């Protein structure tokens, strides 16, 4: 096998357009209903196949540690072990998505690693098999492997493809890290939102059950959300801290971005029902 350097495998961000917490299970996980949509703002990974089973990771960001807990390396190792692949890989991560913001960057990086290496190592797993591997790495990983906007139930692993509108989003990044584990362990988190059919949910006002709690615990999130609500319908994504506003036109979103206080970072990106990762895979 030759050892080419593949160019630009995207790992897109996701938004939770709504997030309802329905119940807490006996195993500590939560039953939820949520709607995932991708946005065209991505990390990028490059892969060079090695002829020995060695795994190496390089990153442009000092905060990304290439150790045994890194999801990218965990994903590569899980595929390697599951398929008994004798090849290795050298990986370069161009980290552009904020970490710990609710945009799914770590899960997306892991999913892109599984999808790309399944192609480059020629291990031949189906998308369903890759999703099963991905779920062991994190509840959000399968939606990125699936590659389509999806309504999710269970702990987020039961996916049904959907096609919501694809507006422009202004995503703001408060300078605070929100712990997903702490949010789901908080006694004040609402856990009794009734389960509804997909049709009812798509035609009801959208909300995030974690938003009020996170805004209460983290004033930076409340301040950023309050600022954005002046300009557009806005919510928090996932367990935060990122918040997003929805716009019909790109220029509208850019005009608001230009008004951002210097203390807040943000970006404008198009909603996408087909993941940029799927479009990259199709090129193969």
Q: Is 125 helix (H, G, I), strand (E, B) or coil?
A: coil
Q: What tens digit of pLDDT does each residue of 194-250 get? A: 999 999 999 999 999 999 999 999 999 999 999 999 999 999 999 999 999 999 999
What pLDDT is stored for residue 61 in this prediction?
80
What pLDDT is stored for residue 62 in this prediction?
74
In this structure, the number of other CB atoms found within 10 A of the CB of residue 237 comes to 28
Degrees, nearest 5: CA angle 10-8-140: 20
Which CATH number describes the domain made up of 168-272? 3.30.70.890
For residues 175 and 173, give the distance between their C-alpha atoms in angstroms, rounded to a whole number. 6
**46 among known catalytic residues:** no
Per-residue pLDDT for 60 more than 70?
yes
Assign 4 a pLDDT band (cuts: 50, 70, 90): very low
Instruction: Show binding-site residues.
Output: 98-108
Q: What tens digit of pLDDT does each residue of 86-144 get? A: 999 999 999 999 888 999 999 999 999 999 999 999 999 999 999 999 999 998 999 99
- What are the residues facing 238 on neighbouring strands? none
Cα four-point dihedral sign 126, 129, 134, 140? positive
pTM: 0.93
Of residues 160 and 64, the one with the higher pLDDT is 160
Instruction: Show binding-site residues for ATP.
Output: 98-108
Per-residue pLDDT for 3 more than 50?
no
The ranges assigned to domains in the chain are: 6-162, 168-272
Cα four-point dihedral sign 20, 22, 25, 31? negative
According to DSSP, the β-strands at 9-24 and 168-173 are unpaired
**Residue 253 CB partners (closer than 8 Å, separation 6+):** 168, 169, 170, 232, 245, 247, 268
Per-residue pLDDT for 39 more than 50?
yes
Assign 63 a pLDDT band (cuts: 50, 70, 90): low
User: At residue 9, what are phi and psi to the nearest 5 degrees?
Assistant: -85, 115
Q: Which of 48, 140, 254, 255 is catalytic?
A: 140
What pLDDT is stored for residue 7 in this prediction?
60
What pLDDT is stored for residue 198 in this prediction?
96
Q: What tens digit of pLDDT does each residue of 7-20 get? A: 689 999 999 999 99
For residues 191 and 231, give the distance between their C-alpha atoms in angstroms, rounded to a whole number. 30
What pLDDT is stored for residue 1 in this prediction?
39
Sequence length of the chain is: 284
Q: In the CATH hierarchy, which fold is given to the domain comprising 6-162?
A: Ribosomal Protein S5; domain 2 (3.30.230)
Q: Which of 14, 95, 109, 209 is catalytic?
A: 14
For residues 201 and 51, give the distance between their C-alpha atoms in angstroms, rounded to a whole number. 49
Cα four-point dihedral sign 98, 104, 105, 106? positive
**14 among known catalytic residues:** yes
Per-residue pLDDT for 2 more than 50?
no
Per-residue pLDDT for 177 more than 50?
yes
For residues 69 and 106, give the distance between their C-alpha atoms in angstroms, rounded to a whole number. 11
- The mean pLDDT of the chain is 94
Count Cβ neighbours within 10 Å for each residue of 198-233 and write b for 16 or more, e otherwise. eeebeeeebebbbbebbbebbebbbebbebbeebbe
């Amino acid at each position: 096998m030759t050892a080419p350097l593949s160019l630009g495998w995207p790992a897109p961000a996701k938004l939770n357009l709504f997030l309802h917490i329905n119940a807490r299970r006996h195993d500590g996980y939560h039953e939820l209903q949520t709607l995932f949509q991708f946005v065209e703002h991505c990390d990028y990974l490059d892969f060079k196949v090695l002829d020995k089973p060695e795994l190496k990771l390089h990153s442009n960001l000092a905060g990304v540690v290439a150790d045994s807990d890194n999801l990218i390396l965990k994903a590569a190792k899980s595929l390697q072990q599951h398929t008994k692949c004798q090849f290795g890989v050298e990986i370069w991560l161009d980290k552009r998505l904020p970490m710990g913001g609710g945009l799914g960057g770590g899960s997306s990086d892991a999913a892109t690693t599984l999808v790309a290496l399944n192609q480059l190592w020629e291990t031949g797993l189906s998308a369903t098999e890759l999703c099963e591997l991905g779920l062991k790495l994190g509840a959000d990983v399968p939606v990125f492997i699936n590659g389509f906007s999806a309504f999710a139930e269970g702990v987020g692993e039961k996916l049904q493809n959907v096609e919501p509108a694809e507006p422009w989003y202004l995503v703001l990044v408060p300078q605070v890290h929100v712990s997903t584990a702490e949010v789901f362990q908080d006694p004040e988190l609402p856990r009794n939102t009734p389960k509804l059919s997909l049709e009812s949910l798509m035609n009801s006002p959208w909300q995030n059950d974690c938003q009020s709690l996170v805004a209460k615990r983290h004033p930076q999130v409340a301040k950023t959300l309050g600022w954005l609500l002046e300009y557009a319908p806005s919510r928090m994504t996932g367990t935060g801290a990122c918040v997003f506003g929805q716009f019909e036109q790109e220029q509208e979103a850019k005009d608001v971005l230009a008004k951002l206080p210097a203390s807040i970072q943000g970006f404008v990106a198009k909603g996408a029902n087909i993941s940029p990762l799927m479009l990259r895979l199709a090129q193969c």
